[in-house]
Amino acid sequence: MAAGKEESGEGGSSFILDHIIDHHELHLGPLHIPLPHLEVFGIDMSITAHLVMMWISAFFLIVTLAVSTKRRGMVPSGFANMIEAIVLFIRDDLAVPNIGKKEADKFMPFLLTAFLFILACNLLGLIPFGATATANINVTATLALISFVMMLAGGIMHNGLFGYFKGLIPHGLPAWLLPLMIPLELMGLVTKPFALAVRLFANMTAGHVVILSLLGLIFIMKSLLIAPVSVAFALAIYLLEIFVAFVQAYVFTLLSAVFIGMAVHQEH
């Protein structure tokens, strides 16, 4: 009995991990499509499932945005109207209040791209046989690093290289506190992209773990009696995950705008 339970537990955990972790093959139900392994100068550059999902998301956004903006009129309609609403929302509710009206337009391409790309990756992971690229810490860390670079670029362009890093230290601070405050401020600077990466990764991973755990109870307990309850709860969490997909794209974009605004408008 103990051995049977242990095997069931291992099977359940492997079922969850198999869906979450990245693979060198696409899992389309019973069909597993191997992906090419590439190595450049000793560095593994293999194509993985999460990379394919990002390519699909990028291709979808390029095609849909190109088609929706091809015919420009005074009054947009259909999908173009929705895209315009998103652009105005990012500009008026995120960029302008946090970065400022004059500087907001400089960072709109990045903020809008980040929002739409993260949203597309989040939603693509909820499609059957799909994979959530934003549940990969490498992907979220790269997105956070890009946001960090934009933050530094905004601060340096607006305040100058020396002025930006000087502005990290509170004005009028006693000299004897500088050896303590400088490392703390630099650490606080680095924790911003770290928070962006971990927040997005953890939230997108947690939802899938909960859904798969609920469905896995049917196979772990080997009883159809629990199936209606498990499926009902899994469906509820799935609907919540659709909402979370939008929220996490919004939160990442909002925090990026806040961090850029803090870098551009430093307190002196």
Write the single-letter amino acid at 64.
Answer: T
pLDDT value of residue 40: 79
pLDDT value of residue 13: 59
pLDDT value of residue 162: 79
pLDDT value of residue 74: 58
Instruction: Taking each helix axis as running N to C, give the angle between helix 178-221 and helix 2-20, from 0 to 180 degrees, rounded to the nearest 10.
Output: 120
Sign of CA pseudo-dihedral 109, 253, 81, 131 = positive
SS3 43: strand
Least Cα distance to 193 among 256, 117, 118 occurs for 256
SS3 44: strand
Where does the chain show beta strands of DSSP type E? 25-28, 31-34, 39-40, 43-44
CA distance 249 to 64: 18
In the beta sheet, which residues pair with residue 25? Answer: 34
CA distance 194 to 13: 27
pLDDT value of residue 8: 45
- Phi–psi pair at 22, nearest 5 degrees: -75, 155
Instruction: Please give the model's pTM, rounded to 2 decimal places.
Output: 0.85
List CB contacts of 62: < 8 A, sequence separation 6 or more: none
Residue 118 tokens, joined = 């993260």
pLDDT tens for the 268 residues of the chain, in order:
344 444 444 555 566 776 778 877 777 767 777 888 877 777 777 888 888 899 999 999 998 888 877 766 556 666 777 888 888 899 999 999 988 888 888 899 999 999 999 999 999 988 887 888 898 899 999 999 999 999 989 888 888 887 777 777 777 767 777 777 778 878 888 888 899 999 999 988 888 888 888 887 877 787 777 888 888 888 888 888 899 999 999 999 999 999 998 888 776 4
Measured CA to CA in angstroms, residue 204 lies from 112, 168, 172 at distances of 20, 32, 43
Residue 129 tokens, joined = 């046989």
Long-range contacts of 68-73 (CB under 8 A, 24+ apart): none
CA distance 70 to 64: 10
